[in-house]
Structure 1
Amino acid sequence: MKIKHNMKRAEQLKEQVRRKLLEATSSSGSSVANMVMLVDTLERLGIDSHFRREIAAMLRRVHRQEQDCPSAAADDGLHITSLRFRLLRQHGFGVTADVFDKFRDNRGSFRASLSSDTRGLLSLYNAAHMAMPGEEALDDAIAFARHHLIQSVEGKLKSSMAEQVSRAFDIPLPRAPKQLETIRYIAEYEHEPAFDGVALELAKLDFELVRSLHLRELKALTIWWKDLYNSVKLSYARDRIVENYFWTCGIYHEEEYSRARIMFTKVFGLMSLMDDTYDAHATLEECHKLNKAIQRWDKSAVSILPEYLHAFYIKLLNNFEELEDCLEPTEKYRMSYAKTGYKQLSEYYLREAQWSSDKYMPSFAEHLDVSVMSSGFPELAPVVLLGVRDGDGAATAEAFGWAAAVPALARASGELARFLNDVASYRTGRSGRDMASTVECYMAERGVGGEEAVAAVAAMAERAWRTINRECVEMGGRADHLLPAARLVVNLTRMLEVIYLGGRDGYTFGADIKDLVTNFFLANPSQLFD
């Protein structure tokens, strides 16, 4: 009864918020400041998905005004200018970093008078992380904002703002998974200057409704995984269904993506079993046999495999058949992309197993060509779309073709996965079976120490993010119909920042993120929000 009551109340609140959005978009008196603050609020509260059309219309109006009448923004302060810049870029609109020039002195440095504007500095810090390649001026913005924000935190900054600053230092807002930000921001929102009680009530109800769905899905997936894991009897493989599903919720948490979450989690889990077989257990000869069977993708190929892989192989094929049954007749073509990706990943795992067996040290460039793909992220790009119902235009046939072709965005995602994983592996230490990482290849090729190599690889990860930013903005200008798909791939990538925060590997070592995952699924909402 409570769920039904909450759903009814949520619908009433949505209509109230929708009216506010329509009024803000249609009224000639609505300021850019009001519009961007409203969009920011809805996104950080996690309820923007209910108002996609209204938000799109509002941001188009903001962008038009920026193009048609740039002088209108001349009086906007640092907070609104930064907020507008970040939101427009995140939604695929082209906007130049020159908008920050008005905050610089005649020497090109940011004005010292800005140092006391904590909210503006935080907005600038987050906005500057939407930088694209070649925008070194935004490096200055990050350094300037960070320096003064550190001083503010060391002073007497209010707890809610101090918490937001601390979070941004860990993961800048454009790179933070939305639902994790929502959990924290709901508890802080009532202290915000533009507090709206209707939006907050809707956010709390929506959070509870969605999380109850997540828990039902997690229960069903846990039953599926236990049956699979106990059947295949691969004791060396990571037992990580909760961490897997947590990652999936970071890609898409809304109710409409229920089928997509379940399908992605299952494919991700099957990839993880294959990864651990190549990486942690199989001999080189067994690796060759496993790859041969996977390329054939036929139950008769089970005879090629050693006995301990028979159950895994049959379960793999059966699960893919069951996933295909979940798709509508017009959607079944999608499975070919998932199968092709799985086969490709097997080929890359085999290449790395051969290198490890031969104790081969590839060049950094050669390593990257293979290990970016073996990260699994380029292959997961089409899988992200696999179960998406095509309501928002994300899962079109063209989008699958785009994702499967390993566009620059997907490759950059793979680079991030590889670099962050390898930095974590270097810090925790690799096993004797592991091939050399990008960190070790860089050390060998450049003749440098470990910390210098780690710093260089971390800088490459930053460049990968800038490539992602560029691709989204350019796509907004030339192929905006692909943006919904691209945003889901970016969401997949954002979760890397959580899993590998501070050099940890929260997927391999689940205890590192146990408290975070427990809080996400089980914390009492009243404790979170009161």
Structure 2
Amino acid sequence: MWNDFFVTYTPPVSQALTNSTMSVSALVPLQRSEEWMTERVNRLKEEVRMFEAGKAMSAADTLKLVDTLERLGIDDHFRKEIDVALARVHSDVDHGSSNDIHIVSLRFRLLRQHGLWVSADVFDKFTDATGGFSTSLVSDPRGLLSLYNAAHLAAPGEDEVLDEAIAFSRGHLEAMKGELGSPLAEQVSRALEIPLPRLPKRLETMRYVAEYEEEEGHQGVLLELARLDFNLLRSLHLKELKDLTLWWKHTYSTVKLSYARDRLVENYFWTCGVFHEAKYSRARMMFAKTAGLLSMMDDTYDVHATLEECCKLNEAIQRWDESAVAILPEYLHMFYIKLLTSFKEFQDRLGPGEKFRMAYTTKVVKSLSNYFLDEAKWSREKYAPSFDEHLQVSAMSSVFPAMAVVLLLGAGDDVAIKEAFEWAIGVPDVVSAGAEITRYLNDIASYKLGKNQEDVASSVECYAREHGVTVEDAAAAIAGMAERAWRRINGVSMGDVPVAVLPAAELVVNLARTMEVMYLGGRDAYTFGADLKGLIAALFLEPVPI
């Protein structure tokens, strides 16, 4: 779909506001260099620090500011300040005094998202004598939206009150959608599709940068900082897209696997959902290239190779040596060589103290190949596994566990420590839950879209056969399992992850969030790239005034 678009694309001349509080209609064309924008961002960051440090802020105002920083995508510049502020809010003895459902929900969500435990009992004051939520909340749509988003951070065992919160708030938000003004109407629509805690941050920022100006009491300094920061990052992303497109064009034409999906831009969009910040540039390039190569491998096992060829490909991958190319059919020679040479290039880009990372990465690729082969055997031999047997293999073949390691490959030393690799490669619960979400959403999509006849039976089909129910009922049950997997991720994120690997765990959760976008509404936006065209254009091409 995109072909060479990002190779030849030239962004339009930057536009700037002569005053950061002016409306968009007052824009004047003005060339702004990246150097100027970078310098201005640095000055604005200091202005924000000095401004906020000089204010005596209430807990409610602190929460609103943190929420704004995060949704504008500029929180990474104020990580230490945010951590200190939320720790103070968490320890506040008067934390339960607010009767504002928006503030109580905001506190619950932000603290839980930052790994700080908050009891769901804080919502008891908003229930009536029957135990249901009070109908008085219906007059507060912003409060309902906050409650809805907060309740999606439920941990295992919290079904009753938070399930009720989701059902109550969703029902009323659905009913009032047509009556709300901007930007609340758009924010409600987004949340009803994907709740805020499950939406990749960059996609929220993409919309909220435009919406924040309409918020009552918005701060011009934050708006200007967000616009500049978004454009600087977008400029970097476009450069990476150009380089990746050139790499992919050469790779795809070299390996000559015409049956393999050509999805470089969709792949990079997915990558930016995992990590979009400038500091992750090298990690993004390695992640996107690896994902492209693994996609070729997946399509070979899944839709093209004979079982004998699958066995030979797996044997060569386990050997991981150029001499093994001799055992492969000729059409796989260039793919295998490209796989090995690409990983050699990754290794060359790693510093002396980072070389150890390659052993973990090649290990997960070899493991993934084994799982791909297991599924190929099931498919070619028409084997019908039990649901549990299917999940043991298909969760691992979802690529999620492998990419949970790959995302560390190019990351900085503050994230990609040896303990993080050991943790990720051991498939801890947050990784296995993410893998299950990926598998369940993928299989629900294949059920809705119709799968290839040669594909192995999906988890939906296995569940339907094993439990004697219709595929529609099986799909509903699988969707419930995906929801419970999210709750495992929420629970693990609040205390069960070693402190040293928390930055890595945050990236794994980001990886899980991307699956909600790729499989939204039962679509498969990687296989059917047209489904992402609008989002890709919005993220990389729509103008943002600066």
- Asked whether the equivalents of residues 302 and 310 of structure 1 are also in contact (C-alpha less than 8 Å), the reply is yes
- One-letter amino acid of the structure 1 residue matched with residue 516 of structure 2: E
Q: What TM-score, normalized to structure 1?
A: 0.95
Indicate conservation of the 8 Å contact 1:419/1:438, yes or no.
yes
Partner of 2:123: 100
Distance (whole Å) between structure 1 residues aligned to residue 87 and residue 416 of structure 2: 23
Q: Identify the residue that residue 531 of structure 2 maps to in structure 1.
A: 512
Which string of whole-angstrom CA distances, capped at 9 and with x for unpartnered residues, describes residues 107-141 of structure 1?
A: 21111111101111000000000001111110000
Aligned partner of 1:138 in structure 2 is 162
Counting matched residue pairs gives: 514
Looking at structure 1, the residues matched to 441 and 54 of structure 2 have their Cα atoms a distance apart, in angstroms, of 44
**Cα displacement (A) at 1:166:** 0.4
Q: Which residue of 1 aligns with 2:367?
A: 344
For 2:96 and 2:121, how far apart are their aligned partners in 1? 12
Deviation at 1:396, TM superposition (A): 1.2
Counterpart position of 2:521: 502
Is the 8 Å Cα contact of residues 299 and 314 (structure 1) preserved in structure 2?
yes
Specify the SS of the correspondent of 2:183: helix
- Correspondence for 1:36: 63
Equivalent of residue 63 in structure 1, options 90, 97, 117: 90
2:188 to 165, 188, 209: 165
Provide the residue aligned with 2:35 in structure 1.
4
1:153 to 150, 153, 177: 177
CA drift of 1:469 comes to 0.4
CA distances 1:248-268 after superposition (whole Å, capped 9, x unpaired): 011111111111100111111
Indicate the residue corresponding to 1:441 in structure 2. Answer: 462
Per-residue Cα deviation, 1:474-504 (whole angstroms, up to 9, x for no partner): 23xx623321111101111111111111100
Q: 2:522 is matched by which residue type in structure 1?
A: G
Q: 1:405 is matched with which residue?
A: 426
Shift, 1:21, TM fit: 4.1
Which segment drifts farther, 485-494 or 13-22?
A: 13-22
* Alpha-carbon contact 1:176-1:497 (below 8 Å) kept: yes
The answer to whether the 8 A contact 2:434-2:512 is kept is: yes
Does 1:178 find its partner at 2:181? no
**Secondary structure of 2:218's match?**
coil
Give the superposition deviation at 1:518: 1.7
Aligned 8 A contact 1:92 1:483 in 2:
no
Which residue in 2 is equivalent to 1:119?
142
Specify the code of the residue in structure 1 equivalent to 2:205: T
Q: Identify the match of residue 218 of structure 2 among 195, 217, 235.
A: 195
Counting aligned pairs with the same residue, the percent is 60
For 1:388 and 1:79, the matched residues in 2 are separated by 36
* Further displaced range: 100-109 or 286-295: 100-109
Contact 1:372 1:418 survives alignment (8 Å) = yes
Q: Offset at 1:72?
A: 4.3
> Cα RMSD between the aligned structures?
1.2
SS in 2 for 1:92: coil
Q: Distance in 1 between matches of 2:473 and 2:72?
A: 39
**Do residues 471 (structure 1) and 471 (structure 2) align?**
no
- Whichever structure has more helix as a proportion of its residues is 1
What is the alpha-carbon distance in structure 2 between the residues aligned to residue 351 and residue 395 of structure 1?
Answer: 30
Deviation at 1:23, TM superposition (A): 3.9
Alignment of 1:305-324 (within 5 A): 305-324=328-347
CA distance in 2, matches of 1:10, 1:186: 15
Contact 2:443/2:458 (CA < 8 Å) preserved in 1?
Answer: yes
Query: Match for 1:451 among 455, 463, 472?
Result: 472
Query: 1:234 offset after TM fit, Å?
Result: 0.3
Aligned AA (2:388): A
Match of 1:228 in 2: 251
SS of the equivalent of 1:134 reads coil
Q: Do 1:124 and 1:145's aligned partners in 2 also have CA atoms closer than 8 Å?
A: yes
| Cα displacement string for residues 250-296 of structure 1 (whole angstroms, at most 9, x for unaligned residues) | 11111111111001111111111100100010000000000000000
How far apart are 1:106 and its partner, in Å?
2.5
SS in 2 for 1:73: coil
Counterpart for residue 350 of structure 2: 327
Cα drift, residue 184 of structure 1: 0.6
SS of alignment partner, residue 350 of structure 2: coil
Q: Aligned equivalents of 2:398 and 2:54: distance in 1?
A: 46
- Between stretches 429-438 and 345-354, larger displacement belongs to 429-438
Helix, strand or coil at the partner of 1:159: coil
Tell me which amino acid in the other structure corresponds to 1:503: G
Give ranges in structure 1 of 5+ residues lacking alignment: none
Tell me by how many angstroms 1:97 deviates: 0.6
Q: Note the alpha carbon deviations across 1:218-264, whole angstroms, 9 max, x for none.
A: 00011111111100000000001100001001111111111110011
Give distance in 2, aligned partners of 1:506 and 1:20: 43
Letter aligned with residue 46 of structure 2 = E
Amino acid at match of 1:344: S
Which residue does 1:242 correspond to in 2?
265
- Alignment pair present for 1:251 and 2:274: yes
Q: CA deviation at 1:432?
A: 1.8
Q: Which residue of 2 aligns with 1:487?
A: 506
